[in-house]
A and B are shown apart, each in its own frame.
Chain A
Amino acid sequence: MTVNERVEEIYQAERDNIYSYLLYFSVPAGRAQELAQDAFLKLYLKMSKGESVENPRAWLYKVAHNFALRFHQREAVFDDLSSDFERADRLPDPEHAAMEHQRKTVLLRAIRDLSPRQRNCLHLRAQGLRYREIADVIGISTSAATEFLRRAAVRLKGIMDGY
C-alpha cells in the first residue's frame, strides 16, 4: 500500500472525527473543516518523507488539538457546554420514554459538571486512544491524563449510579 493510499484510507475513516474534535473546541465549522483537511495533508507530508507515525489517529488528534489552540490564541476550552446545554436540555424527545429522557438529562448534567480537561480526555479515550496517546495529544503527562480520567470516572459513577 502506498503512502497516498494509506493516508487516503485514514482520511476517509477519520476526517469526520477530526472535524468534530475541532468543533468541540468551538472552532467555526468552515474553519474546522479546513483545519481537519490540513491535518491530513500534514500527515501525508510527514509520511511521504519516510517519517514513521506510530498511531496516525493519535497523531491527527494531536495536530488538530494544536490547531484548535492556535485558533483560539491562548486557551481553548473543550466542549464548552454553556451555549449548547440549554438547547440540548430542551430538546423535544417525543420518541423516548420519560425515563430515557431523564437519563439523558442526568448524563448531560454529569458531563457538564466535568472539567473541560476531563471531558477532553474522556472524548479521546472514547475515540480509542491510549492513556499515553491522550497525554501526548493534550500535552500533559501520562499520569495527569490518568488522573483526569480517574476523576471523571469517579464523578460519572457517582452521578450516573441509579440510572
Chain B
Amino acid sequence: MGIEGPNGSDSPHLSDGQLARLEDGELSAWEASHLQSCPQCGSRLGDARARAAYVEYRDAIRAPLLAPPPKPWQPLDALIARHEASRPRGLHWWSVASVGAAACLMLGLIVTALVLWSPRQTASARASRLLTESAKLALPQRRSISIYLHGRTLVRPAVLATEGEPEGDSDIARLQMVFAAAHYSWREPLSARSFQAWRSALRDKRDSVSIIRAQNDESYRVRTETDSGVLRTASLTLRAPDLRPVAGAFDFEREGIVELAEAAASSEHASGTRALPRRPFTAPSRDETSAGPEVTLHVLAALNQIGADVGEPVEISEDPRHQHVVVHAAGVSRERQRQIAGVLKAVPRVMLEFGSGRSTLPRAKAMPQERYSATIPAPLRQQLEERFGGPSALQEATDRILEASSSAVAQAHALEILARDFGPRIEESLIAPDREILQKLRDNHISELERLISRMRENLKPVLPAIPNGAAAQAANGEAAASWQTGAASLVALARRTDDALNRLLASSYSQSSGEEMLRTLAAQIEQFDYAIRSDGRAGR
C-alpha cells in the first residue's frame, strides 16, 4: 500500500493529514512504523508540534499581553499621500492617482490636495493656489513679526496702521524704503496677499514650491526668483495645516537677506518697531567663515552621546559653501531622528537631513549577522558542545561571540572615521578643549573595543588554544603605530578579519582538521587584534 502524499499522490512520506491524525492516535501500525524509521517525517512532525505549541502560546498567553494599536490605522491611500507630500521634488505620473484618492479620503487635508492635485500643475500654478488659499485665511489681529536684520532682531506688529509712516530706527527706515522700491508691502510683509501682489507684478519669475518637514511640523515654502527689480528672491513659508504664513526671506539686491518670522504670541506690542537683544542670525550670512573641523568634532561628540556615531546610517559632510556641517541620516526611524536632532540642537552650524534613501558611504556592519549553521563537522561540534557545556550553551555563546565581533567591526570603523577626519595636523590645530573632546571620543572607541575583545575572548575561552605571551607582539614585529590615526586603519582590517574567521568557523562547511586549524588561527588573530587595540590606545596617550 502506498502512503497518501500531501496532494493525494503517492509519496514515500506521510501526508500532513496523516501527521495530524497521529495526535489523535489514529495512525495505522504501518504509518506509525514509517514515522519511527523516517527522519524526514520525524522532523516534519517535530516542526508541526512546535508550531502548534507556539501558536497556542502566541494566541492564548502572549497576545493578551500585547498592547493594541494606540490609534486607528491610517488608510493606505493616506499613507501614500503623506509620503508624496513629503517629497520635495515634482510629481510623478504614477503618484497622481494615489494622491487624488487620498485627497478624497482626507477631506480635511485640503492643503495636500492643493499642492499635489494635478500632474500638469506647474510649480507656478501650485504657488498661486497656495498663496490664494493662504490669503483667504483670517489671521489674528494682534499678531507680531520678528525681523532679523544685520544681526538684530526687531519685533513689530504684523500689520501696520499705515504704509508710509516713517520708522524711527535707521535700519528699519532703510528697510522700509527698500521694500517700497521693490513694490512689496511694508505694511504687511508676512502675508500671502502681499507676496502674491509683488509676484503677480513681475514680468519674469521662476517659482518653486517645496515641502519642509521639521520634527512633527510640515510646511510649504513658496519661493519666487526674478531678474527684475531690487527684490531678487523672496520666499514665504506657509504652515501645512492651515497655510498660515509663518516665515519669509527676502534677498534684496545690495542689501542681503532679510528674514521675517511670526513672533511668539505676546499679550501686547508697541505700535511701532522695537529691538530685541542680539541673537545669532540663523540664515547663512555672506561673511561667514568655514565651519572648520571643530564643528564636525562637536557633531561627532554629540552623536556619540546617543551612540549614533557607531554603526548607524549617519553621514557627516560639509555643505558646498563650507559654512555648515551637514548631518545626513538616511533610513533612521523618526524616534531616532528626534534623538539626533535633540543632541545636535546645541551645536551651531549644523544642517540636518533626514532622507529615506540608502546611504552612499561605505558603512561597517551595523547589525549582527548571525550565520551559523549545522554544517560544523559532527566531532568538532561535539567537542565544542562539550567544552561549552551543552548544545544550548554553545548556541548562546556563539550568539554572544558573533554579536560582539560585529559590534567590534562597527566600533573600529567609527574610530577609523575619527582618525580620517582628525589627522595629526588637524588634531594639533585644535584648541585644548577640543583636543580633549577628540581624545575622549577616541578613548571611548578604544575602551569599547577592549570590552568587546575581552567579551569575545571570555566566550571563546573554553575552545581557544592558549597563545604564548608576546606572540601577538612578535606577529606585529613589535612595531607600534606612529600615531593612533595610522593604527586605526589596521584595527578595522583586524576587526574584519576576526569577524570573517568567526563566521567561517561557525557558518561554513569544512573538514574536522580544517576546523581545528581554524580554531588555532582564530586564537592568533584575536590575540593580534587585542594587541593592536592596546597598542593604538597607548599611541594616543
Contact = CB atoms under 8 A, between A and B. Distances in A.
The reply to whether chain A is a binding partner of chain B is yes
Interface of A: 4, 7-8, 11, 15-16, 19-20, 23-24, 29-31, 33-35, 37-38, 40-41, 44-45, 48, 67, 69-71, 73-75, 79, 84, 87-88, 91, 104, 107-108, 110-111, 115, 117, 122-123, 125-126, 138-141, 143-144, 146-147, 149-157, 160
A144 B507 contact: yes
B80 interface: yes
A69 to B, nearest CB: 5
A44 B73 CA distance: 16
Contact of A107 (B57, B74, B80, B369): B57
A46 to B, nearest CB: 12
Contacts of A48: 94
- What are the 5 tightest A-B residue pairs by CB atom distance, in nearest-first order? A153-B46, A143-B373, A153-B50, A29-B67, A147-B374
A150 B43 contact: yes
Contacts of A4: 76-77, 80, 97-98, 101
A40 B407 contact: no
A67 B101 CA distance: 28
A16 B410 CA distance: 34
17 contacts: A4-B76, A4-B80, A7-B76, A41-B80, A44-B76, A73-B311, A74-B311, A87-B65, A88-B61, A107-B56, A107-B61, A111-B53, A115-B392, A126-B58, A138-B370, A140-B370, A156-B54
Nearest to B73: A15
Nearest to A41: B79
Interface in B36-57: 43, 46-47, 49-51, 53-57
A115 B51 contact: no
A139 B51 contact: no
A117 B372 CA distance: 12
A24 to B, nearest CB: 8
A160 B53 contact: yes
A107 B53 contact: yes
Contact of B65 (A7, A38, A45, A84): A84
Interface stretch (B165-173, B251-259, B269-277, B327-335): B327-335
B367 A74 contact: yes
Given A40-B76, A140-B370, A125 B69 contact: no
A108 B333 contact: no
Given A70-B331, A147-B373, 9 more contacts: A24-B62, A33-B70, A40-B76, A71-B336, A111-B61, A141-B372, A144-B372, A150-B46, A157-B50
Interface string B498-510: 0000000001000
Interface of B: 43, 46-47, 49-51, 53-58, 60-71, 73-74, 76-77, 79-80, 83, 94, 97-98, 101, 307-308, 311-312, 331-336, 366-375, 391-392, 395-396, 399, 403, 407, 410, 507
Contacts of B50: 122, 125, 149, 152-153, 156-157
A45 to B, nearest CB: 7
B57 A111 contact: yes
B44 to A, nearest CB: 10
A117 B69 contact: no
Nearest to A33: B69
A45 B55 CA distance: 32
A48 B84 CA distance: 13
A24 B66 CA distance: 8
A122 B61 contact: no
A19 B63 CA distance: 12
Contacts of A23: 66-67
A143 B331 contact: no
Determine which residue in B67, B69, B79 has the highest number of CB atoms from chain A within 10 A of its CB, and name it: B69
Contact of B307 (A41, A73, A87, A144): A73
A153 B45 CA distance: 9
B336 to A, nearest CB: 7
Contact of A37 (B57, B79, B371): B79
Contacts of B332: 70
